[in-house]
Structure 1
């Protein structure tokens, strides 16, 4: 019988689907298994359903000699060494499109929350609200210049949404893709002109710390930066410095450097000063946290996993030869 490891809890109907294909060992969660416990489960595993908190490298694969597939219940797979998986004959699959719409929605929500002082407004109402007072004036998307960095599926979905706000101009930054609804420009120009910069960039060698001290040195004063791509696209200490000296008007993020598990030099936590800064809004990786979407993602990953075990074609495979 196939042995299937599931490293985070899944919906009951997904678990039942997996159990139809083999014996399932599932983490009761929500905290990840310690490394040694995960290795013990993987020792006899034929398949593994993996999540954002997981990482795969050659060392892990050496301890999982029977493993045939890793089915990722997520879109970005930068925590997974695809070359090592290919060499080990382990097929990796991912869920490429189900996260797009909810992530784009959250990006716009974070932009509005940051620009309109929603967190501070909520705090004041809950503490001692005596009625309206002339305070907490922010900025709006209407009439603003908005830059979307990364014009993949999520970036294009963000453009879909900000088009309806009456922006003065929408800029697009992407060396490989074009979108007729935006004016394509360089990152430097976008940072110099935009009131809002929304990052929808995957993590690659070239995109790590794309937004660093040098990039932030030329930004439009008071600019609002929103990151829903990957945490390490932004250098958080550089953002903190730009907030501290007033160049950056605010930072909102759903993703953080400490989440990029496959980077050996990643920080182990979010800078405390960044968490405490009043011009920040943070959410705990809620981009796909819509109940129906999460169920669909888990089911798609389960179907990918089962297809490999059955010897069938899988549309969502992410092979790298190396």
Structure 2
């Protein structure tokens, strides 16, 4: 059995996922609820033929230089900004992703965040738990989806799925994307960015994190938004300048902010902050914040891990899976 390739699973996985490698590879698996410390991960990866990588893993050129046996990184991810794909390719390491299994659950969460923020669900829950609820009062009036204009910035697979999810709510959906694909379904009206930001009562981000999109939602972008509009971020934390968002909330121009992702998660940034902007944490009536739940649906996570494992095994068998990036 020692001649079988060694696969390292960097974060906790399902039993079914680990069973896929039985008889086909040896595995070293992280069974903890938290990522391994960087030195532990590197010690395992340095002797590995393959990695199943997750969001918390930072795989850069220096990391790859310490992994001479590595042949494939099977990312249980759609976005891969935490992996230096160019450096991996230059070293003969195949990087695979999971292109579409995260799309629908992320879109559903985006709609959930929108409703939770617009309808003051978190603030209402907090009020109930404080005690003293005696029945209806004329308070917590919010923004519903019916009759609202929702703008989706970034109209790739996630943006399109968000528009489809919104189709039954009676809202007008606008979308903007610099790389608009004319063949996509027309669940949204195509508009320019200035029309979208000036018209949307609710603005949802659906962009990947790239050097061009990092910090795109800053002071100028926020000023261009309709006064009192809500901003929803289920995509990547570093699309947003969190301090600028806090300023806009404090100043009253931004009506609310809901996020499932935060800049402190974005390992590709050398200057990533160590924690979430503290003012956002204290604004409990204007924010809804969730701990990266976008794909946290049991069957979706099983399918994601299965896809990543299957891609790893295909590469180790000398194949090039469709999920390979290069």
**Bin for the TM-score computed over the shorter chain:** over 0.9
Number of aligned positions between the proteins = 318
| Match runs of 1:72-151 below 5 Å | 72-128=75-131, 129-151=133-155
Aligned to 2:290: 283
| Match runs of 1:1-322 below 5 Å | 1-128=4-131, 129-167=133-171, 169-177=172-180, 178=182, 179=184, 180-278=186-284, 279-319=286-326
Q: Distance in 1 between matches of 2:228 and 2:23?
A: 55
Q: Distance in 2 between matches of 1:47 and 1:259?
A: 23
Q: Distance in 2 between matches of 1:234 and 1:21?
A: 43
Question: Which string of whole-angstrom CA distances, capped at 9 and with x for unpartnered residues, describes residues 69-120 of structure 1?
Answer: 0000111101111110011100000000011111100000000000000001
Moved more, 270-279 or 195-204: 270-279
Moved more, 211-220 or 87-96: 211-220
Q: Compute the displacement of 1:148 (Å).
A: 0.6
TM-score normalised according to structure 2 size? 0.95
Q: Distance in 2 between matches of 1:218 and 1:40?
A: 48
Q: Contact 1:188–1:215 (CA<8 Å) still a contact in 2?
A: no
SS of the equivalent of 1:103 reads helix
SS of the equivalent of 1:175 reads coil
SS of the equivalent of 1:110 reads helix
Q: Distance in 2 between matches of 1:18 and 1:149?
A: 40
Question: Which string of whole-angstrom CA distances, capped at 9 and with x for unpartnered residues, describes residues 179-218 of structure 1?
Answer: 5332222222211111000101100111111111111112
Q: Distance in 1 between matches of 2:313 and 2:23?
A: 9
Q: Distance in 2 between matches of 1:56 and 1:299?
A: 21
Q: Distance in 2 between matches of 1:318 and 1:27?
A: 25
Question: Which string of whole-angstrom CA distances, capped at 9 and with x for unpartnered residues, describes residues 20-70 of structure 1?
Answer: 321111112221111111111011100000001111111001100000000
Q: Distance in 1 between matches of 2:96 and 2:226?
A: 40
Moved more, 176-185 or 10-19: 176-185
Unaligned runs of 5+ in 1: none
Q: Contact 2:160–2:187 (CA<8 Å) still a contact in 1?
A: no
Runs of 4+ in 1 over 4 A off after TM superposition: none
Moved more, 267-276 or 177-186: 177-186
Q: Distance in 2 between matches of 1:187 and 1:252?
A: 20
Q: Distance in 2 between matches of 1:304 and 1:20?
A: 16
